[in-house]
Structure formats: C-alpha cells, structure tokens
Amino acid sequence: MLSDKMVKDLNDHLNFELYSAYVYFSMAAYLDNHDLLGAAHWMRIQVQEELTHVQRFYGYINDRDNRVVLQPVKGPATEWASVEAVFEDALKHEREVSSRINRLVDLATKEGDFSTQNFLQWFVKEQVEEEASVKQVLQQVRLAGKDGQGILLIDRDLAARVFTFPPDLTI
C-alpha cells in the first residue's frame, strides 16, 4: 500500500510529466516558426516520450489501487533567444526531471516502499539517457555556432529521430 504522501508525490510528478510534454510542444512550435523543421520534429518526438512517462505513472498509481488526480498544467515558455537557448532550456528541464525522480526514490527508500523503488528505477535509467541526448544536441549546436550551414546540417540530422512506442505500455 502506498502512503498518502507517496500517492500525492506520484500524482504531482505525473503532472510534471504532462508539463514536460507541454514544454517540448512549445519548443517545437518555436522551432517550427523559425523553419527548423528537423529540430521541431525532434521536440515532437520528445513530447511523445514524455506522454509515455505519464502513462507509466498513471498505470502504476492505478495498479497500486490509488486514484490518479489530474491537476492544472502551467504554461511553458514560448520564446527563446536562439536554437542554442532552446536546447539549454531542454537540458535544464531534464535535469529538473532527474532531480524530481531522485526525490521520489529518496521518499520510497525512506518509507521502505520497495515496489515504488523498483518502479522508479526505470526512470532513473531513462533520465541518464534523456540528459545525454539533449546534451549531445546542445553540444552540436554550440559547435555549429552562428553558422547557418552548421545549424541546417544539425537540423537535417534531428529530422531522422524516430519514436518507438514502448512495447510494455498499452493505451
């Protein structure tokens, strides 16, 4: 059985994952508006990933015989100074997600909630991948500098990203 605090914190994190999807949609809209269609596509794939995270939390809360409580989702930023600033914010955001996951793991550990600890380990590993992925793109953008050709080459590469729906999730 989950403690009331754990249920609240899991629901809060589900809400933050919805916010994450909203953040990446906003970044995609900004990039689309600047005709960086590959980078916008990359961000839309990120939206899909965040929504699968929502589904994992939703399923876990329900599987533990608790209720998912949806909350308002705050509005994300809508403007950035550059493509580099977009990916800097994306990396900052992923680091915040990692921090939140770590706090959930800490709570589960303190409560001796081994099921939730086990559930969260997938996210611990996922966040290492998420941060590394964004950091790699950010480094490429920084290396390209203000060179339009460099950004266009990166944009073309970002267009190749493919989303694969996790086989262990159902809709």
Specify if 168 maps to a domain.
no
* CA–CA dist 151, 140 (Å, integer): 9
Instruction: Give the pLDDT confidence score for residue 171 in this predicted structure.
Output: 57
Is 150's pLDDT higher than 90?
A: no
**CATH number for position 90:** 1.20.1260.10
The answer to whether residue 163 sits within a structural domain is no
pLDDT band at 136 (very low <50, low <70, confident <90, very high): very high
| 123 falls within a domain | yes
**Percent of the chain residues topping a pLDDT of 70:** 98
Average pLDDT of every residue of the chain: 95
Looking at the domain assignment, is residue 31 inside a domain? yes
Residue 60 is part of which domain span? 4-158
Quote the number of domains for the chain: 1
Task: Tell me the two tokens of residue 36.
Answer: 């960086």
For residue 119, being part of any structural domain is answered with yes
- 164 located within any domain: no
Q: Tens of pLDDT along 85-128?
A: 999 999 999 999 999 999 999 999 999 999 999 999 999 999 99
Is residue 39 in a domain? yes
Cβ neighbours for 50, distance < 8 A, ≥ 6 positions apart: 17, 18, 20, 21, 24
| DSSP assignment letter at 148 | H
